[in-house]
């Protein structure tokens, strides 16, 4: 399990040099957010944590190897700047990390925990689902651990295989009391992370690790927030609604371009951003216009969050639908090693599904 963390930093630095399977497309920040500087995604995480630590004296950042910067370097320089009492490494125990975070948050601190890989969060599942999510409810609002944010790298990264490539968002999206967020870019990461840390509920913040170094944008220098539970329409269209989150948004953006060029199909692309509670209004408004919906994510097909979106849209937009909702997802197998290109929903699988959907 996490004991392997001591031996993997070099291997994962090499792993992250692998070219992305699709081109990252940078977005422009809102001009009202002020001046910008170029940052990649892991640097935008550092920037957000730096912002919170400088403004909130109760904020603490902790997790395995966090003191020296972590495997993905997201906390580099923070311990030197704010001291080992506020930025520190923990024992190799995910259950202990989250349990400690719940206690810190309940005592009034802003607790920001890091799980080194999303695949390692499962020993802490009981703490998150049975403690953090229910703490306020079970006490009738007498107690509260809302100031807890749990960060974790997730998703495919090249050859992470079955213990370093999973996307477990659907497990937590089944739990009232938790919020689940996954950004697609550096600008989104900083704004959504700041909003997550300040949200009065425990938040699971999932960072697509393949984008840590490959995604580069002009990120606002100052403090800004992007609201949770609000999807973003990245491309307007009239024929098919296409929904994704995290790195899959970039795959789908390329697919939308292919569909327009090769098939003359106009796609409306939406980044869900907050997986739970999700923005039902934006999705249903789009589907009511286009009559078709394709949802894609890296997690396995069965009980993936695309199934929830499909069921909800079928109930709310039934009279507007021109075709069954399509899902393009990972397969119902453990995440493979050498067969990763056949597992992830790449642009060719998505394009084929989109063509079938449009012709229905």
The catalytic residues are 94, 164
Residues present in the chain in total: 360
Report which of 274, 346, 284 is spatially closest to residue 310, judged by C-alpha positions. Answer: 284
105 touches 145 (CB < 8 A): yes
73 touches 42 (CB < 8 A): yes
Residues in contact with 122: Cβ distance below 8 Å, sequence separation at least 6, in sequence order: 94, 168
DSSP assignment, residue 28?
Answer: P
The radius of gyration of the chain from alpha carbons, rounded to an integer in Å, stands at 20
Region of residue 69 (left: phi > 0; alpha: psi -120 to 50; beta: else):
left
Q: Cα angle at 10 between 187 and 59, to 5 degrees? A: 45
d(CA 121, CA 127): 10
Q: Which residue has the tokens 């899902």?
A: 327
The H-assigned helical ranges of 247-304 are: 248-263, 280-290
Please give the order of strands across the beta sheet that includes 293-300. 232-235, 267-271, 240-244, 293-300, 326-330
User: Hey, what are 196's tokens?
Assistant: 């997550």
For residue 243, what are the β-bridge partners?
A: 270, 295
Helix 41-55 vs helix 186-198: angle between axes, to the nearest 10 degrees? 30
219 touches 47 (CB < 8 A): yes
275 exposure class (CB count in 10 Å sphere: 0-12, 13-18, 19+)? buried
Q: Collapsing DSSP states into helix, strand and coil, what is residue 232?
A: strand
Q: Collapsing DSSP states into helix, strand and coil, what is residue 337?
A: coil
């Amino acid at each position: 399990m996490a004991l392997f963390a001591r031996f993997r930093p070099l291997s994962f630095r090499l792993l992250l040099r692998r070219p992305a399977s699709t081109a990252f497309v940078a977005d422009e920040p809102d001009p009202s957010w002020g001046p910008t500087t170029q940052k990649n995604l892991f640097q935008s995480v550092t920037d957000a944590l730096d912002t919170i630590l400088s403004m909130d004296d109760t904020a603490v950042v902790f997790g395995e190897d966090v003191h020296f910067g972590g495997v993905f370097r997201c906390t580099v320089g923070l311990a030197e700047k704010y001291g080992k009492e506020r930025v520190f490494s923990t024992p190799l125990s995910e259950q202990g990390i989250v349990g400690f975070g719940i206690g810190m948050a309940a005592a009034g601190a802003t607790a920001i925990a890091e799980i080194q890989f999303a695949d390692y969060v499962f020993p802490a599942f009981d703490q998150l689902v049975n403690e953090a999510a229910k703490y306020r409810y079970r006490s009738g609002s007498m107690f509260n651990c809302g100031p807890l944010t749990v960060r974790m790298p997730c998703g495919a990264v090249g050859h992470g295989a079955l213990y370093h490539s999973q996307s477990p968002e659907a497990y937590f999206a089944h739990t009232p009391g938790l919020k689940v967020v996954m950004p697609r870019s550096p600008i989104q990461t900083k704004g959504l992370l700041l909003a997550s840390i300040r949200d009065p509920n425990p938040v699971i913040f999932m960072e697509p690790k393949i984008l840590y170094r490959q995604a580069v944008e002009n990120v606002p220098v100052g403090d800004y927030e992007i609201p949770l539970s609000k999807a973003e329409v990245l491309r307007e269209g009239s024929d098919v609604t296409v929904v994704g989150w995290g790195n899959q948004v970039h795959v789908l953006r390329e697919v939308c371009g292919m569909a327009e060029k090769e098939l003359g199909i106009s796609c409306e692309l939406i980044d869900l951003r907050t997986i739970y509670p999700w923005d039902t209004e934006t999705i249903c408004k789009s589907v009511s216009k286009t009559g078709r919906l394709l949802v894609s994510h890296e997690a396995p097909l069965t009980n993936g969050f695309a199934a929830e979106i499909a069921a909800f849209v079928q109930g709310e937009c039934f009279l507007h639908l021109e075709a069954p909702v399509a899902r393009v997802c990972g397969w119902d197998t453990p995440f493979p090693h050498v067969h990763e290109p056949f597992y992830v929903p790449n642009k060719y699988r998505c394009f084929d599904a989109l063509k079938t959907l449009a012709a229905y």
